[in-house]
Every structure is written in C-alpha cells, then in structure tokens.
Chain A
Amino acid sequence: MHVPIGLPWGLILGALILWSLLAFASLFIPKAPRIAPLIFPLGALGALCVAAAGLLALQGPPVTMVSPLGLPGLPFHGRMDALSGVFLVLFGLTTVAISLDLTGYRAREHYPVVARIGVQYHILLASLTLVFVAADAYSFLIAWEAMALSSYLLVVTDHHTRGARRAGFLYLLIEHIGALAILAAFTILIAQAGTGTRLVYTFAALHASHPDATVAGIAFLLAFLGFGAKAGLVPLHVWLPQAHPVAPSPISALLSSVLLKVGIYGLLRVTFMLLPTPAPWWGLTVLTVGLLTALLGALSSAVQSDMKRLLAYSSVENVGLITAAIGLALLFSAYGLKALAALALIAALYHCLNHAFFKGLLFLGTGSVLHATGERNLGRLGGLIHRMPRTAFMMLIGTLAVAGVPPLNGFASEWLILQSFLKATALPRPYLAMGIPLGAALLALVAGLAGYVMVKFYGIVFLGRPREARLAQAVESGPFERAGLGLLTLLCLAAGLWPAGAIALIRPAASLLTRADAPITISEAGARVDVAHAAYAPAILWVALGVVALATVLVLRARFSQAPRRAAVWNCGHPVIGARMQDTAEGFGQPIRRIFAAFLAVRSHHPAPDDRVPRYGSVVEDRFWEDLYRPAARGFEAIWAWTAALRPRRIAISLFCVLATLIVLLALAP
C-alpha cells in the first residue's frame, strides 16, 4: 500500500471484511441455525463503521489509496472525499436500521431463505461501499456490476412466483442497459484521454485530461442515461414499481433508500468531478427529466392500490425532485453562478438523506404490516392503528415527512429546493429566468400531490375500519422491527428539527463539487436557516407549536373539563355502517384519474344499461408501457425476425462472418 491507511480506510476495510465473513457464515445457517440471530446485528455493526468512516471523510481532506488488488499494472484506486462521505453516511445509517429489521425478518422465514438473503445482502452491502469509494473507472464498474447482480438476486428472493421472476428480469435488463451506457461513457473518456499505450483510467487523471465539448457532451448523455436507469428516471423508471413489491420489504427499503441514491451519486461524481464545466443544455436536460419524473411519479403513486407499488412511485417522484435540483445546480455552474450551484446541490443532497430515512421507514413499516396481515393490497387493509399502535405512530411520522409538511425533514429539503429554484432569476438568459420559477410551481403541485398520496396511504392502511375480518388478528411488530423503525423515525425527526446540522454535514460535499460556498447562513444556535433573508427555523416552530398546544390544553382543562361520552358514530344519522362504505384506494385515486387522464393510461370498464350484473372497474397502467416499451419491443422483434431469416443455416458460415467482420474492423482501425 502506497499510503498508510488512516482511520477511515480502517473502518471501511473492517466493514468489508466483516461483511465478507458474514456472507460466508450465512451459508451455514441451515446447518447451524444458532448462528442466525448473530448475522444481521453484526452486519448492522459494519454499517455503523461505514457511517463513521463517512463522517470522518466529511470532516477532513480527501484520502486516497491504491490497493494491491486488481490486474497487474492496473491496481484499484480508492478515494474518500466529502461526496463519498455524504453517501456513506446515508448508506450506513439506513443500513443499520434495515439490518435490525432483517434480524426480526429472519425469525419468520425458513432457514434456506434466510441463508440466501444473508449471503446476497452482505455482498450487496460490500459492493455498495466499494462503489462509493472507487476512484477509477475499472474498480467502479466491477463494484457496480457486483451491486447489480447481488441486488437482482435479492429482488428474486421469492423466485417461485412468476411475478418475481418477471420483475427481476426487468430490473436486470434495465440495470444492464444502464451499466452499458456507463461503460460507454467511461470508454469514450478513456479513449480520448489515452496517450500512447498508457491507459488512463483513474477519475483524477480523466478529470485532468480536459475532454473537448463534443466528447464531454456525449459522455454526459451516456452517463445520464446509465445513472438515470439506476436512479429510476423517466422513462427508465418502470422497473421500480415492478421490483419493489416483489422483493422482501427490508430489501425494498434498501432499494429505495440506497440503491436509487447510487444513481444520484454516480451522476454527481461524473458530471461534477469527471467532466469539464457543464454546458447549459446539460442542466436543462437534467432539470426537465427531473421535473417530468417527479410529476409522473406523484401522479402514478396517487392511483395505485398496492401499498408497495404506491411507495415505489413515490420514490420515483422524490428521485425526480433530487434530479431537478441537480439539473438546476448544473445550470448555475454552467453560467458561473457557483455559490447558487452549491445551494442547489445542498438541497439535492439533503433531500437524498431525507428520502433515504423516510422511505426506508415506510418500506420497513409496510414490511411489518405485510407480516402482520399477509396483505399488500390497500383494498383489504384498514384500522391497523388499533392493532399496531406503535408501528402506526412511527409510520405517521414517516407519512408526514413524505408529505412534506413542517416541521419534519421532507419539508426542510423541499423548502431548500424551492428556494434554489427562486434564485433562477439570477440566470442571464430570460427564458430560463422566466421558465424555471414555473418549474417551482410544478414542484409545489408535486408536493401537494405527495400530501394527497400520503393521506390515502396512511388513511387506508391504518385508519378506518378493518376491511377484512382476519385483520382483527394482526399483531404489533416485533422488537427488532420496532428498533429499526424507531431509528429511522429518530433520524427523520433529527434531520427535520435540526436542518443546520444536516446542512453543515453536507456543505463540504457541495463545496467540493462547485468550489464555492452556498449562500446559506445559520443563526440562533443552529436553529435558524437563512437563504436570502428567508428563514426557516423548525426548532422554534416546534417550540411555538408546543407552547400553544400546552396552553390550549391547560385552559380547556381548567374551564371546560367535561369528560367525553363514548357513543356510536353519528354519520349524518345513517344507521348502517360497514367497512365496505369506506373509501377505497381506487376511490381515492378517482379524482386524479379524472383530472390527469392525459398522463395516465386508464382503462375503465363501465356497465352497459342491460347488464345483468353491473361491473365497474378501472386499470391504470404506466403510459410508458403503452407508448414506448411495447412499440420498442415489437420493433426489436421485427429486427430479430429479419436477422433470423438472413442467418445462414450452417455454423461454419456464421463463424466465417464473425472472423471477416473482425478483420474488416481491424483493418479500419487507425
């Protein structure tokens, strides 16, 4: 090793070794079930190490290392800077909660399944860590591929069902389209940077090679496609709503909280730290795709009736918000407004953290609901607040955070995103200065829709009456699950109440990417965050709310203290009340289907006047299946049919054709 390893690398290496050992040990779970209760808590310990390493990386200067691994002459390079730090903290903290939850999950699954999850999960964690610390194209792609494959295997944990296999295949396919695009982006950069026979493949050298505008533009587009596929940007978001419902809930949480953020991480790493100063059209592209993703994600989540699919679309929406903020940061840096770019980046990274916490919380919570009821369909749930009060309370916090209301964390980052959108008036082009505040209005619509979706989600799952008789047997989740949920709830509260802390944490990363400091001032002992004289002080707001609530309760208790009388529901005097009279998930989605019909592929079935048994129904599909994927699939099938017809019948001729092509290509090479 060329550099003596410091504490951060020690922690990372420790976690990697621990996880490798745990992955290996998991193989023996079926033989020795007694080791099973240890595996996942130890994994959480490794995640804690990674989070600590990330914190250290955020405090100090970037640390690099050259590992003895790799091909001869092509060693792996590692680098931990502030950007890696933010994502390591996000990954580490969320993973602690997910590992705790898996400890409880383990208790209710068959040992072979647990063993499989144990192996693949820890390999995934190790490869994720490597993605965040890789500092050359070669090791980055290896870690990327390891991550893709191990997460694919986790998605198809339940491989006996056809749905899981199909969803897994779609995930693998889009993952690899993305990986190919990333490979192509790196290849272009490496090809233009190459001098003689020396292979330039480290990120630092690629950045120093200064590709010209065309090459950089092509590399940017390819990288955006590749990382966008991972992050779930439109139109490559279709794997999310398929893969999330079939994966085990803790794995869905990991997919949504961390794996989507890997796409964001890659996008930031390549566009800000590999490529030269961005051109304005890059930012505009990213911004447009981000806004479109956010809107479609929000609309689609409003019309879902599977709770995990609803949350998956909500993740699409949040990734869209993050991407839009990144697009804005690219635009600002294209026009040299570095401080504002740093502001938009802080907003984006802050929302990454928040989304990891609250979406992890909601997915783990749905896991508990799924375990307690065996039901994913919103139409068969209800009234769980009486059966699972603690889970319901923690889910309420998560729900409010997703809905983006103060004083929780979702609001804090959306507020920052909005503030950076308002700063777009500083852009020198009138059409941008005028158009981007309209984008902010779209953000407001998306935020409002998120509130609608979350009322639907929480109201239908936890409130009201149980829609099925067997929901009465639902029990509260176990202690490990509750610990995982509790940790994420605390993180949501902390990140919401103390935005100054989160911003201070993220600030070095934004400064590293833009070489400027964001115009955010923090005052009043860290309680108040100011952007251009507009302030947000959630802690003060909490205190004010608390004081007023306390005063109200005390005054009412002193003067008007009659104990309430319990009685039957009034309901405008309608005597018959059944669980079927409540609004369904479909009913809740109906206004959205009607108002935004143009954005959704809705197929409704209305009864004819002479139907014996009238049947109502409507199916909502992703428009992109109808408008993009099916035509594309038909086109490819046509091409394949054509080439199959052309193909010679004898293998020798095929081989000859391959050889001939190779010779022609070699002859053409410069």
Chain B
Amino acid sequence: MIAHLFMRQGVQILFVLAMAPLLAGWVRQCRAWLANRAGAGLLQPYRELLRLLRKQPVVPHEASALFVATPYIVFTTMVVASALVPMITIHLPLAGAADAVVLAGVFSLARIFAALAAMDLGTGFGSMGARRAMLVGFLAEPALLMVLFTPALISGSTSLVVIVRQLARHGVILYPSMAFAAVAYVMVTLAENARLPVDNPDTHLELTMIHEALNLEYSGRYLALIEWGAAIKLFVYIGIGAALFFPWGIAQGTSSAGLAIAYALFSAKLATAGAGLAVIETVFAKLRLFRVPEFLGTAFLLAVLGLLMRYLFGH
C-alpha cells in the first residue's frame, strides 16, 4: 500500500518534470500562432534545456557558494512544490505534509534565494531585479492568500486535498464566490510567474525585466535548472488552479482506470490553461512597474469580494 502511494507520488513528479517544458513550448507555440508566426515547435524547450545542460557553465570570479547553490535550491523547491499539489490524485503521501499556505511559503523560499543569488555578484541589474522580484512577490502574497481563503472557508480547511475532496463532491457547479477568486487567481499567477502584463518572459530589456534580471549571470546547467524550475512553477500554479477551481476528474479512488482518466483530464486542463495564458499575453501590453501594485491590488479586492460573497450569500 505504502509502496503504491510512493509510486504514485513518484509518477506524478516524473510527469511534472517531463511535461513542464512541453507546457512552456505549448504556450510559446500558441503565442506564435496568435501572432501569425510559425513558431519553433512544441519541443523547442526540450532542445534548449538539453543544449544548456551540455554546455560548460561559466561562474563569475566574485560568486559565493550561495550563487552556485541557488539553482539547485530553486529547482528542488519547485519539484517538491509540484509533489504537494493534488493534480492527478488526492492520495499523495506528500500532499498531506503541507497545506496551501505552506505551498505559498515554499514558493517564497525559492524567490528569496533567487533574489539573494542575484545580489551576490553586486551588479546593478542583479540587485534591481532582486528588488523588483521581491516587490511583486510580497504584493502577490496577500492576494494569493485571499484567493485561498474562499475555498478554505467553503471546505473548512486550507489543505488542498480536503478542498479538492469537498468541492468535487458537490458536482460540476461553480460557486459565484469562486468565480471572483478564480479571476484573482489568474492575475496572481501572471504576476508570480513573471508573465505579461507584469513581466515579459521573452525580453532582456534592461529597464523592464524582472525574472530575467535574476538569471543574467547564470549559464550552462545552472541556467537549465532555473529555466526548468520556472516551467515547473507555471505548471504547479496551473495545477493549483485546477485543484481549486476545476477539481472534477481528480482521482478520488485508487483504481488505475481512474488514474488514467485523471491524467488525460489534467492534460486537457493544462492545454486549455496554456492556450488561455497565450491569449492573455497576446492581448495585454506590459504594465509599468508602478502599475503592478494596482494590478495586484485589483486581484486582492476581487478575492475579497469573493470572500464577502461567500459570507453574505453562502455560495
């Protein structure tokens, strides 16, 4: 039984590791199609990762141990975070070890290390990137927690497993309060994953970059780990969103048929979310940095509205 549990956990981790670059490729391909370009194909991120892994990394003279350790820490935290989310099945040994709040904390651990590593070399871009990344992070955190509170109040617990079990039991209905929370969640996801309109993942424009400024000095396998970690992060955020707002199809039992359906359904959810992300990124322009607080403030208020709705109408 326990061996089975851990096998399921292991399979989910491998699934995430394998699929995360595909998701990144899918989003890029969708964006290319929307912009009437041919695109580099779905497999491009895999090729890039392989190329980076094979290359000899370059480490600056001034780098401390923190700089070298950070890619491993970021990658590890993202992989562990992916193991905490019930994406396919609720029977995961690790999902019981942490609730949604811990998950938010795990992400902020990775963010803090990334910011510290960017400051390690004492470059202007690095420290400015660190400052901006932390700014977006601490503004997103209250909004994210507010989003989590609505389902937590409906199900009486902040554990994702309990939330999924409770919400899925009620059948395919969308609570009005959850609709508000879902919109807020999308906004938080955009900010936390350095996507448009908060940050442009495709640019190294010095004045606007946030996420890219943190990895400027990384190369070779270190950069591969960071890029892969970022892809997993997006994957996990979509996984959390699916668990909170579309929990149907997540395997409640332990049958292999149920698991197979769950994998298929989750892949479909991923594809939809990825396409939606591409549409958002195509339609919206990048915000100025000091509009980001307004953006995340809006997300926060939407989440609060959802919460009030839940109190006032009980839905």
CB of B58 within 8 A of CB of A533, answer no
Contact B119 A463 (CB under 8 A): yes
Closest to A583 in B: B127
Rounded to whole angstroms, the CA-CA distance of A403 and B112 in the bound complex is: 9
Q: Is the interface of A mostly helix, strand, loop or mixed?
A: helix
Interface residue? A110 (CB, 8 A): no
Considering the complex, give the chain A residue whose CB is closest to the CB of B308.
A434
Q: Is B135 an interface residue (CB 8 A)?
A: yes
Does B57 contact A441, Cβ atoms closer than 8 Å?
no
Looking at the assembled complex, report how far the CB atom of A449 sits from the nearest CB atom of chain B, in whole angstroms.
5
> Are the C-beta atoms of A582 and B123 separated by less than 8 Å?
yes
User: Residue B109 contacts which of A400, A444, A591 (CB distance < 8 angstroms)?
Assistant: A400
A528 within 8 A of B: yes
Does residue B311 face the partner (Cβ distance < 8 Å to A)?
A: yes
By a CB distance below 8 angstroms, the chain A residues around B98 are 406, 535-537, 541
- Digitize B53-96: 1 where CB-to-A-CB distance is under 8 Å, 0 elsewhere: 11111111110101010001101110110010000000000101
User: Considering the chains assembled together, what is the distance between the CA atoms of A553 and B75 in angstroms?
Assistant: 11
Annotate A544-582 by CB proximity to B: 1 below 8 A, 0 otherwise. 110011001100100110111111111110100101011
Name the A residues within 8 Å of B300 (CB-CB).
441
Task: Contact check, B80 vs A548: say whether CB atoms are below 8 A apart.
Answer: yes
B162 touches A534 (CB 8 A): yes
Q: Which residues of B contact A396 (CB under 8 A)?
A: 66
CB-CB under 8 A for A438 and B112, given A465-B122, A564-B57, A582-B124: no
B124 touches A422 (CB 8 A): no
Assess the A536–B102 pair: CB atoms within 8 A. yes
> Which one of B26-34, B153-161, B259-267, B268-276 is at the A interface?
B153-161
Which residues does chain B contribute within 8 Å of A385, judged by CB atoms?
A: 64, 66, 120
B109 touches A572 (CB 8 A): no
Complex interface: stretch among B36-44, B137-145, B174-182, B278-286: B137-145
Shortest CB–CB separation between residue B243 and chain A, in angstroms?
14
Asked whether B149 is an interface residue with its Cβ less than 8 Å from the other chain, the reply is yes
B142→A442 contact, CB < 8 A: yes
Q: How far is the CA of A383 from the CA of B119 in the complex (A)?
A: 10
B134 touches A451 (CB 8 A): yes
B53–A559 contact, CB under 8 A?
A: yes
Cβ–Cβ < 8 Å partners of A438 in chain B: 304, 307
Residues A571 and B216 in contact in the complex (CB < 8 Å), given A406-B106, A533-B159: yes
For A445, give the chain B residue with the smallest CB separation: B142
A93 on interface, CB distance cutoff 8 Å: no
Does A569 lie within 8 Å of B142, measured CB to CB? no
Contacts of A562 in B (CB 8 A): 55-57, 220-221
Question: A595 and B119 in contact (CB under 8 A), knowing A448-B141, A452-B134, A452-B135?
Answer: no
Select which of A383, A570, A595 is within 8 A of B60 by beta carbon.
A570
Q: Does B217 contact A (CB under 8 A)?
A: yes
Counting CB contacts under 8 A, is A358 at the interface?
A: no
User: Does A588 have its Cβ within 8 Å of any Cβ on chain B?
Assistant: yes
Q: How many A-B residue pairs have C-beta atoms within 8 angstroms? Tell me.
A: 247
Query: Which positions 216-247 of chain B face chain A at CB distance < 8 Å?
Result: 216-217, 220-221, 225
Query: A405 → chain B, closest Cβ, in Å?
Result: 4
Q: Which residues of A contact B59 (CB under 8 A)?
A: 564-567
- Cβ of B168 < 8 Å from any Cβ of A? no
* A425 surroundings in chain B (CB, below 8 A): 153
Min CB distance, A571 to chain B, in Å? 5
**A30 contacts B by Cβ under 8 Å:** no
Are B158 and A419 in contact, with the CB atoms below 8 A? yes
Residue of A nearest to B69 (CB): A549
Residue of A nearest to B78 (CB): A548
Residue among A386, A455, A572 with the highest chain B CB neighbour number at 10 A: A455
Q: Shortest distance in angstroms between A215's beta carbon and chain B's nearest beta carbon?
A: 36
A residues 402-439 with Cβ under 8 Å of B?
A: 403-406, 411, 415, 418-419, 422, 425, 430, 433-434, 437-438
Bound-state CA distance A452–B105 (Å) is 14
Instruction: Name the contact of B139 in the complex, choosing from A440, A448, A454 (C-beta under 8 A).
Output: A448
Closest to B152 in A: A422
Is B313 interfacial (CB 8 A cutoff)? no
For the complex, what is the distance from the CA of A465 to the CA of B289, rounded to whole Å? 27
CA distance A28 to B157 in the complex (A): 61
Question: How far does the alpha carbon of A630 sit from the alpha carbon of B159 in the complex, in Å?
Answer: 49
Cross-interface CB contact of B311 among A430, A465, A577, A579, cutoff 8 Å: A430
6 tightest A-B CB contacts, nearest first:
A448-B138, A464-B122, A583-B127, A459-B119, A465-B122, A448-B141
A and B contact pairs by CB, cutoff 8 A, 11 listed: A441-B142, A444-B145, A448-B137, A459-B116, A463-B119, A533-B162, A564-B220, A567-B60, A577-B122, A581-B122, A594-B290
Further pairs besides A430-B311, A534-B99: 19, Cβ < 8 Å: A382-B122, A383-B122, A403-B108, A415-B105, A422-B158, A441-B146, A448-B137, A448-B140, A451-B137, A455-B130, A463-B116, A544-B97, A548-B76, A552-B76, A556-B221, A564-B68, A565-B57, A569-B121, A582-B127
